[in-house]
Structure 1
Amino acid sequence: MQIFVKTLTGKTITLEVEASYSTRPAATHLRRQAA
């Protein structure tokens, strides 16, 4: 499943996650993508 996150600077980050993910692994993945 894909989740699209738009940052405050306007950048859109696409996360590929499993439906069973909780918010913590998804947030960790987001932080890695944003760096």
Structure 2
Amino acid sequence: MILLNMLMLVAVMELAAIYDAVRGKDNETYQNEEK
């Protein structure tokens, strides 16, 4: 049970990191378009 919770936590952290990276790219492109 504890191992399962750890795996879920790692998966959520990875998804959050990927989401932040994609959002950061979107923000960069948006700022470049504004310029």
TM range, smaller chain? 0.3 to 0.5
Question: Which structure dedicates a bigger proportion of its chain to strand?
Answer: 1
Report the structure number with the largest CA radius of gyration: 2
Question: Which structure dedicates a bigger proportion of its chain to helix?
Answer: 2
| Larger RCO, structure (CA 8 Å, separation 6 or more) | 1
Structure 1 length as normaliser, TM-score?
0.39
